[in-house]
Amino acid sequence: MTDPPRIGVALPRSGRLAPLGDPLAYATQHFRGLALTAHGRPIEFRTADHESTVDGARRAVRQLAADGVRLVTALGGTTVLPALATAATELGLPFLSTALPWQVHRATCPAGAFHFCWGLDDIARAFTDLWSRVPGTDPVGLLWNNGPQGAALRDPAMGFLPVARQARPLVDPGGYPEPAAEHTVALAAFHAEGARIVSSAATTADLAGFSAAAAPLGLRLITCSRWLAYPFGLDHPALDRVATVVAWSPRHQCASSVDGRSAAELAAAYRRDTGRSWLPPLGLAHALLEVATHAVRAAADPADPAAVREALSRTDIDTIAGRLDWTHGPAPRIAALPLAGGQWRHGAGGPRLRIVAADRVAAVTPDGDLVEAIRR
């Protein structure tokens, strides 16, 4: 092989997922500046915009393949990520991704794709840790859409329901269409059952609309995954004190396997270089490229897709997001990532994510207590 090892990064620079593209683009630029090598040749990182669409995903992978990449990486997107994985597999390229619950990945992506993430059962455990901080036995109302997110959460085989049912009674009024024009059915059901805790996977816009309309219920807590795991649109006052899952933060005592940079240093550099606050996907994006770099370095021949896949299958490394182990994952080609519980707090400097429940994550300590979010 004379060509340099090339890693492809499919990311959204346009469309509804564009905010997820910012941390991945930043991480890619950082890795380009490290002058990394594999087998004596410089590693190159090539990017392509998948435009937040399924068709764009296919085009992005074809572009990366034409650029000579030997591994395609991506972050997030319930419908886009499976399209990326399928396109890469059809072209014979190894695929590595993150930021989609691993059970959903397993159900929607080709069997040969590699992935690291938390599971829907991990989300449920993080949420039950948060619910346990609200005294009493209030039922939990489920605000889930009628799309793929709601279907996965309702599927007992996916893992959320079996865990959640052990903690609190659940009230499921059925799925709503997204985007939601109103939530009258859910509001009526929650009122009838006395549900003063709500768990959701809504977009920020839909959750803000629900939260504002739910004031008469006197809700004590809202937990939400999906978009609330990332600070997109959180400046709406109705989203103050919403709790969520935390996969990565500057408080995580983890360091990069590539250059030793700590989580706190990465967050500080991101703010310095972009003028924006850290995002939970920032650490995941960095870890994604750490693993990709490790794979092309560890592969017997980084030009051989089979060798890259074999290197990924035996990867067990400490990254800036924590330890990622594909040799003892919850399923083949999956590495697990634990979750803490956090809560968004609004203040003069904008929304800030506080870690309030971290018993399941050894690498992080809380920096706040859960505050009930009663709205009347």
Q: In this predicted model, what pLDDT tens digit does every residue of 265-307 receive, in sequence order?
A: 999 999 999 998 888 899 999 999 999 999 999 999 999 999 9
Rounded distance between C-alpha atoms, residue 359 and residue 333, angstroms: 26
Check residue 376 and give its pLDDT.
Answer: 46
Rounded distance between C-alpha atoms, residue 145 and residue 16, angstroms: 18
Rounded distance between C-alpha atoms, residue 364 and residue 339, angstroms: 10
pTM above 0.85? yes
Q: What tens digit of pLDDT does each residue of 209-221 get?
A: 999 999 999 999 9
Report whether 86 contacts 110 (CB < 8 A): yes
Q: Tell me the average pLDDT across 35-53.
A: 97
At the topology level, CATH places domain 121-246+346-357 in: Rossmann fold (3.40.50)
Q: What tens digit of pLDDT does each residue of 228-269 get?
A: 676 566 777 888 999 999 999 999 999 999 999 999 999 999
Calculate ∠ Cα 256-258-262, nearest 5°. 25
CATH classification of 6-118+251-336 is 3.40.309.10, yes or no?
A: no
Cβ within 8 Å of residue 95, ≥6 positions away: 71, 72, 73, 74, 84, 85, 88, 89, 109, 110, 112, 113, 114
Check residue 233 and give its pLDDT.
Answer: 65
Check residue 289 and give its pLDDT.
Answer: 98
Domain boundaries, the chain: 6-118+251-336, 121-246+346-357
* Domain 6-118+251-336 identical in fold to domain 121-246+346-357: yes
Q: What tens digit of pLDDT does each residue of 162-191 get?
A: 999 999 999 999 999 999 999 999 999 999
Local confidence band at 59 (pLDDT 50, 70, 90 cut-offs): very high
Local confidence band at 226 (pLDDT 50, 70, 90 cut-offs): confident
Q: Tell me the average pLDDT across 327-335.
A: 97
| Cα 72 off chain centre by | 18
